[in-house]
């Protein structure tokens, strides 16, 4: 097959120029010169492109960009953040294995870990609420002490996998503090415009998979004629196993056009993250001074218990704020229904301000005990500050609070 990099530029480079906009390679398949060439790629998929179920030039260009942003050796995009978390676990866990997660994670991920993976024979052990496997937890907004938990994990010969969705690599680079694998829901800040669902897994290349705990990365893979991932791919063993084995079989790979749209969001990510943080800090200070608000969870506030960790790990705390309105669910719902600029929607980290009631929406499948463990009560509101003029956002908040008793 022709060089995959040339596929990106075919028809765009008559005089060895580069396209200004990343081309969309809208193709399911790729043409080879001979049967032997096809056979060779099925024996060793990294030699060339096979099928867009698990590799496409447009998507790969975005994967490389995200890997560079995080400082990793490779990345693999998925069709959702949930798919990224699922494959990140399945890549190293089999039936009969266990892994540890904390309780303060996204409600949908709790369902994935506690129920769906349990059906596959993989046990999730949930630990106390004073830790979280997300840099900024959704919606609890606690900050994860990366170095501490990386040291604990490495002492036991296991990797630290983190969700860096809210922080993005613009605000935090977990690999610099000892994390081994990072996941994202790219549907959030990376995309930024609520255009398409997506996820990504990024491999630091730093973990020693050849330590005796992960035989599937070391021992011969019978589905690839006895190939050993660690021996063949070294630092890229984890991410290439995920692509060659799991993406091959599950096929949850994004379309080229989705990657093209994601790339547009990535190109403005640094500028947007700076403004999200500035707007959100202003809103958080306003909420902290509001006598109808019981508490505000935003790590950039000096009064927040996570403030010291935020100063250590983060260059900003994103645009997401969680706060509790006095009077419980009734007042929280009244406040939300009174908002005019902010949208009530099941989304977060958008250019537009949006609001959500976790207990009755995203986390409604959780039991009362799970809600309590996740730090969610009936008066809690998740407020995702957008990029509108800050005075318009504050005016909307003030008129909504005027309708709350």
pLDDT at 46 over 90: no
Q: Percent of the chain, pLDDT > 70?
A: 92
- Residues 236 and 321 placed together within one structural domain of the fold: no
Q: What is the mean pLDDT of the chain?
A: 90
Question: Worst-scoring range by mean pLDDT, 92-106, 242-256, 277-291?
Answer: 92-106
- Residues 25 and 85 placed together within one structural domain of the fold: yes
Residue 252, token pair as written in the block? 């949850």
Confidence of residue 127 (pLDDT cuts 50, 70, 90): confident
- Residues 293 and 206 placed together within one structural domain of the fold: no
Confidence of residue 133 (pLDDT cuts 50, 70, 90): low
Q: Does residue 205 sit in helix, strand or coil?
A: coil
Residue 21, token pair as written in the block? 């906009």
pTM: 0.91
pLDDT at 18 over 80: no
- Residues 126 and 183 placed together within one structural domain of the fold: yes
pLDDT tens profile 378-396 = 889 999 999 999 999 999 9
Instruction: Choose one of 265, 300, 330: the last residue of a domain.
Output: 265
pLDDT at 132 over 60: no
| 19 vs 263: CA distance, rounded Å | 14
Q: Phi, psi at residue 322, to the nearest 5°?
A: -115, 130
Q: State mean pLDDT over 235-248.
A: 97
Cβ-Cβ contacts under 8 Å for 105 (sequence gap 6 or more): 113, 132, 133, 134, 137, 138, 163, 374
- Residues 58 and 156 placed together within one structural domain of the fold: yes
Instruction: Choose one of 217, 244, 265: the last residue of a domain.
Output: 265
Q: How many residues does the chain have?
A: 405
Q: Answer yes or no: are the C-beta atoms of 186 and 156 closer than 8 Å.
A: no
- Residues 273 and 130 placed together within one structural domain of the fold: no
- Residues 326 and 349 placed together within one structural domain of the fold: yes
Domain interval for residue 74: 4-265
| 170 vs 8: CA distance, rounded Å | 27
b/e per residue 211-230 (b: at least 16 CB within 10 A):
eeebeebbeebeebeebebb
Query: What per-residue confidence (pLDDT) applies to 252?
Result: 97
pLDDT at 271 over 80: yes
- Residues 118 and 182 placed together within one structural domain of the fold: yes
Query: What per-residue confidence (pLDDT) applies to 164?
Result: 96
Count of domains in the chain? Answer: 2
| 345 vs 257: CA distance, rounded Å | 25
Question: Worst-scoring range by mean pLDDT, 101-110, 134-143, 175-184, 326-335?
Answer: 134-143
Query: What per-residue confidence (pLDDT) applies to 9?
Result: 33
Residue 172, token pair as written in the block? 């935090």
Confidence of residue 17 (pLDDT cuts 50, 70, 90): low
- Residue 303: give its domain's CATH number: 3.90.1150.10
Query: What per-residue confidence (pLDDT) applies to 142?
Result: 85
Q: State mean pLDDT over 326-330.
A: 90
- Residues 245 and 290 placed together within one structural domain of the fold: no
- Residues 79 and 209 placed together within one structural domain of the fold: yes
The sheet that has 320-325: what strands, in order across it?
Answer: 293-297, 320-325, 380-384, 354-356, 343-344
| 329 vs 7: CA distance, rounded Å | 55
Q: State mean pLDDT over 300-309.
A: 96
Q: Does residue 102 sit in helix, strand or coil?
A: strand
- Residues 89 and 206 placed together within one structural domain of the fold: yes
**Higher confidence at residue 370 or residue 208?**
208
pLDDT tens profile 202-228 = 999 999 999 999 999 999 999 998 999
Q: State mean pLDDT over 244-258.
A: 96
- Residues 110 and 253 placed together within one structural domain of the fold: yes
Instruction: Choose one of 224, 243, 265: the last residue of a domain.
Output: 265
| 167 vs 174: CA distance, rounded Å | 10
- Residue 247: give its domain's CATH number: 3.40.640.10
């Amino acid at each position: 097959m022709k060089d995959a990099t040339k596929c990106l530029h075919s028809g765009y480079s008559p005089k060895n120029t580069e396209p200004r906009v990343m081309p969309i390679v809208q193709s399911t398949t790729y043409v080879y010169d001979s049967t032997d060439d096809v056979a060779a790629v099925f024996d060793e998929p990294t030699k060339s492109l096979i099928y867009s179920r698990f590799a496409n030039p447009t998507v790969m260009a975005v994967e490389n960009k995200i890997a560079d942003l995080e400082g990793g050796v490779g990345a693999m995009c998925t069709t959702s953040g949930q798919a990224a978390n699922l494959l990140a676990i399945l890549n190293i866990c089999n039936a009969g294995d266990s892994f540890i997660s904390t309780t303060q994670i996204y409600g949908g991920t709790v369902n994935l870990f506690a129920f769906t993976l349990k059906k596959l024979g993989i046990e999730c052990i949930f630990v106390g609420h004073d830790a979280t496997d997300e840099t900024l937890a959704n919606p609890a907004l606690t900050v994860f002490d990366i170095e501490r938990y990386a040291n604990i994990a490495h002492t036991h010969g296991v990797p630290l996998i983190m969700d860096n969705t809210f922080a993005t690599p613009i605000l935090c680079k977990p690999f610099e503090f000892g994390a081994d694998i990072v996941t994202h829901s790219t549907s959030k800040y990376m995309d930024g415009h609520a255009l398409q669902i997506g996820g990504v897994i990024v491999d630091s290349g730093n973990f020693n998979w050849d330590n005796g705990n992960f035989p599937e990365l070391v021992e011969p893979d019978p589905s690839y004629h006895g190939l050993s991932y660690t021996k063949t791919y070294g630092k890229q063993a984890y991410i290439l196993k995920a692509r060659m084995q799991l993406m091959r079989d599950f096929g949850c790979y994004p379309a080229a056009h989705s990657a093209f749209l994601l790339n547009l969001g990535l190109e403005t990510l640094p500028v947007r993250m700076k403004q999200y943080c500035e707007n959100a800090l202003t809103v958080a200070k306003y909420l902290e001074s509001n006598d109808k608000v019981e508490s505000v969870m935003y790590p950039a506030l000096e009064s927040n218990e996570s403030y010291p960790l935020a100063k250590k790990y983060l260059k900003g705390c994103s645009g997401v704020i969680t706060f509790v309105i006095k009077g419980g669910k009734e007042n929280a719902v009244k406040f939300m229904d009174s908002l005019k600029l902010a949208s009530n929607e099941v989304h977060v980290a958008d250019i537009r301000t949006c609001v959500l009631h976790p207990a009755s929406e995203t986390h409604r499948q959780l039991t009362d005990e799970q809600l309590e463990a996740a730090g969610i009560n009936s008066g809690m509101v998740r407020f995702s500050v957008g990029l509108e003029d800050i005075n318009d956002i504050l005016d909307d908040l003030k008129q909504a609070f005027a309708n709350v008793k």
